[in-house]
Structure 1
Amino acid sequence: MGFMQKKLFQAGLSLLLAFGVVFCGFCQPALALTDEQKLVTQVWRIVNRTYLDETFNHQNWASVQKKALAKPFKDHQSAYVAIQDMLQSLGDPFTRFLDPQQYRSLQVNTSGELTGVGLQIALNPETGLLEVVTPIAGSPAEKAGIRPRDRILKIEGISTEKLTLDEAAAKMRGPIGSAVTLFMERDGKGEWQVQLVRDRIALNPVVAELRSFPQGKSIGYLRLTQFNANASMELAHAISSLEKKGADAYILDLRNNPGGLLQAGIEIARLWLESGTIVYTVNRQGIQGNFEAFGPAMTHDPLVVLVNQGTASASEILAGALQDNGRAVLVGETTFGKGLIQSLFELSDGSGLAVTIAKYETPNHRDINKQGIKPDKLISSEPITREQIGTEVDVQYQAAVELLAKKSVVAGAT
């Protein structure tokens, strides 16, 4: 990825996001500043120029800078603390500072492989608690029975209330074969402790199968687990293969997909749409950018999209685009409701800064942040294992199959 290249990305509340990189140039004033003062001022300027909320959480942002620079910094660590204090005053858990090690760790995630327990996590903006967005398929976390929305109270005995999102993630990463102990909580179950042994986590985002259709035809079943840099290409290959095998209709499973790259969501929407708006972006000036589909779609066959409470971020952009354009019928549960966009800036000392710069709206101008997308057919489901997904015990999947049997009610490309 180019050092000077800038990409917007959908945050998804997930630490497995691939980040676009921006180097923000820093213009030196005549007054000589220490390296620590330069870093704090660089962060302040980026937020001042790009942050979504022009009121900066109803405070004087210039006064925040003045307070941060009031005392001399003895080292870089003290500057990092000052930066974190500045950002905390914004009241936005997604605008955050990453020290050089945390920044490098996030960049590693673009490779499609990492080492850890396989949990995608987020801070619940309502409660401030650390929650599981979803465990990665086949990971130690999934094998231990950890589910979406489970709360992580302690990591190695340290309360997560005292940790940032990135600090919590760093504590769960580590060498293959090493162990980490988590203290968990779940509604209806209470609290429990679990020890996980870290392993290599493969991030293959696409599962594709051709399945028999009730009337003797075939369904192309596609499950997308996240929107990484390879997701669009892998899904395009899968659709192409299923078309050649004679798929008559498709089920796209976005359940427990926490999101990822905004661009990947847009590219995948274009695989299904001949034309139409995919998403609008709105910054603090209210200026709307928009991304369009320009065709040709890879298939015109009927499509059902499966969604649930773990469907977030870029997944919601894709689901909203397909629903609003009449290309797909959505089945399942109301989605997570994450409609904010972050960009990542590389700072002068190798650290990073994630800033909420915009929000998105669906083609019909729905702002889904904290509200989510309601499916066309609401089907609740008890938690099931990975092995049960897409089987006869998967009631949401079975509802999708039944809809496809009634072809007249399922949207196809026109």
Structure 2
Amino acid sequence: MRKTGRLRVVILRGICAICIATVLSLGLANPPAFAFTEQQKLVMEVWRIVNRAYVDETFNHQNWWFVREKALKRRLNTWEDTYQEAQAMLQKLEDPYTRFLPPEQYQSLQTNTSGELLGVGLQIAKDDNNQHLRVIAPIAGSPAERAGVSPKDEIVAINGVATQSFSLDEAAARMRGPAGTIVTLKIERGEEESFEVNLTRERINLNPVFSELRSEGNQSIGYIRLGQFNGNAVEDIRAAIATLERQDAAGYILDLRNNPGGLLQAGIEIARLWLDQGTIVYTVNRQGVLDSFEAGPGALTQDPLVLLVNGGTASASEILAGALQDNGRAQLVGETTFGKGLIQSLFDLPHGSGLAVTVAKYETPDHHDINKLGITPDRVVETAPLAREQFATSEDGQYVAAVEVLMQSLM
């Protein structure tokens, strides 16, 4: 038995020696090192994040590994080459919301969601055919709103350059610029002749909430207009409700018209200010796994509530509207909402750049997928374009209808 054991050891050692000799003969003992450049590392990181997080596991029916290998074979001599390669890689997904953000654009996006913007004040989207830019909504008080730019307008040229090939961020970058400078937009609106508007850029402070106590008939009602779900919105809405409660508001109108959305978490937290139980929203990732966000016991009021919505009500606004409608907490008045049911996350990248990736879609508490469909109000009221001073007055047909619905609830 001992001899057999020794024989085995000798044989095993012989095999190991043969293996080592073979490796040396093939030149594999010290395999060549392939060092990626900083530019290649950035492209690989973009690929890796999308590979891990993107909502569509088919990657728009692309061979995502092949996309990676092809990108890494390209010579990337400058950061500009790198940014263009990252953008070209993402374009294969045909998702305008999944995009690479060079440092300047990424900083601008972060500033936008934190409460300040330099430009003309337009929220835009891309049509499915990836041709024209579509206006979601102008920001309240912005140069675009004052010039009469409206939801659903199409921007076909910026400073004389056709927008067909622009990404969302390229278009936004062309509309931004130093305060006091002018940008010219060519607009198409329905069946009307195309026309141009000259907008003077300015610094826009995104104070998203306006509120006041109003007397309608023999009732005092709280009117709150929410323009955007940015970093200030939750606390501003909380303060507005608290003030109006102290003033004995009997009911509320929350105006979400032309609100293009913003931070998902802000929409959830604002829903919790009105709801004390029930599901706010479901999120669905690429595995089909449902996560949910629930209301808690922190609602600030149980008074009747009516929401005003229109075609410029999008994204986080639709999450809030769907939560309040499906839970029977509020009635909706106005027009069908925009229909953006996709959720993006922002990822930091090296050298100040960033990446926006569509990571999930959402469904309302009653499991309605509103992407490209929108939310239909309980009472549909079409309206003609209004001047700023007519908004939420007796000349505003949607507002008048909202008051009527609220009064019926207060009877």
Offset, 1:126: 4.6
Structure 1 residue identity aligned to 2:131: G
After superposition, the C-alpha distances for 1:129-180 in whole angstroms (9 at most, x for unaligned) are 1111111222211221211111111111211113211111111111111111
Instruction: Note if 1:152 corresponds to 2:141.
Output: no
Distance 1:161 1:248 in 2: 49
Instruction: Note if 1:390 corresponds to 2:404.
Output: no
Aligned match of 1:326: 328
Distance 1:337 1:183 in 2: 25
Aligned match of 1:86: 89
Distance 1:168 1:48 in 2: 27
Aligned match of 2:179: 176
Aligned match of 2:236: 234
Give the root-mean-square deviation of aligned CA atoms: 1.5
Structure 1 residue identity aligned to 2:83: Y
Secondary structure (helix, strand or coil) at the match of 2:194 reads strand
After superposition, the C-alpha distances for 1:12-55 in whole angstroms (9 at most, x for unaligned) are xxxxxxxxxxxxxxxxx963111111111111111000000000
Instruction: Note if 1:343 corresponds to 2:315.
Output: no
Q: 1:52 aligns with which of 52, 55, 66?
A: 55
Structure 1 residue identity aligned to 2:335: E
How many residues align? The count is: 380
- RCO higher in structure (CA 8 A, sep ≥6): 1
Instruction: Note if 1:207 corresponds to 2:210.
Output: yes
Secondary structure (helix, strand or coil) at the match of 2:273 reads helix
Question: Bigger shift: 386-395 or 274-283?
Answer: 386-395
Change in Cα spacing, 1:30 to 1:400, as seen in structure 2 (3 Å) is: farther
Aligned match of 1:360: 362
Distance 1:298 1:118 in 2: 32
Secondary structure (helix, strand or coil) at the match of 2:350 reads coil
Structure 2 residue identity aligned to 1:320: G
Distance 1:224 1:126 in 2: 31
Change in Cα spacing, 1:111 to 1:50, as seen in structure 2 (3 Å) is: closer
Change in Cα spacing, 1:323 to 1:30, as seen in structure 2 (3 Å) is: farther
After superposition, the C-alpha distances for 1:303-347 in whole angstroms (9 at most, x for unaligned) are 111111111000000000001111001111111110000001111
The answer on whether the counterparts of 2:90 and 2:99 sit within 8 Å (CA) in structure 1 is: yes
> Mapping of 1:9-408 within 5 angstroms?
31-126=34-129, 128-214=131-217, 216-407=218-409
Distance 1:397 1:194 in 2: 28
Change in Cα spacing, 1:30 to 1:42, as seen in structure 2 (3 Å) is: farther
Offset, 1:259: 0.3
Secondary structure (helix, strand or coil) at the match of 2:352 reads coil
Question: Bigger shift: 360-369 or 195-204?
Answer: 195-204
Offset, 1:64: 0.8
Offset, 1:270: 0.3
Structure 2 residue identity aligned to 1:197: T
Question: Bigger shift: 190-199 or 46-55?
Answer: 190-199
The answer on whether the counterparts of 2:211 and 2:225 sit within 8 Å (CA) in structure 1 is: yes
Distance 1:360 1:126 in 2: 23
Offset, 1:408: 6.4
**TM-score normalised according to structure 1 size:** 0.89
Secondary structure (helix, strand or coil) at the match of 1:406 reads helix
Secondary structure (helix, strand or coil) at the match of 1:190 reads coil
Offset, 1:201: 1.0
Offset, 1:75: 1.7
Distance 2:295 2:67 in 1: 42
The answer on whether the counterparts of 2:187 and 2:194 sit within 8 Å (CA) in structure 1 is: yes
Aligned match of 1:25: none
Question: Bigger shift: 313-322 or 172-181?
Answer: 172-181
Distance 1:108 1:404 in 2: 37
Distance 1:82 1:137 in 2: 36
Unpaired runs of at least 5, structure 1: 1-28, 410-414
Offset, 1:404: 1.8
Structure ranking higher in helix proportion: 2
The answer on whether the counterparts of 2:123 and 2:135 sit within 8 Å (CA) in structure 1 is: yes
State percent identity of aligned pairs. Answer: 63
Offset, 1:386: 2.0
After superposition, the C-alpha distances for 1:350-381 in whole angstroms (9 at most, x for unaligned) are 21111000000111111110111111111111
Structure 2 residue identity aligned to 1:330: L
After superposition, the C-alpha distances for 1:239-277 in whole angstroms (9 at most, x for unaligned) are 111111110010111111110000000010000011111
Secondary structure (helix, strand or coil) at the match of 2:375 reads coil
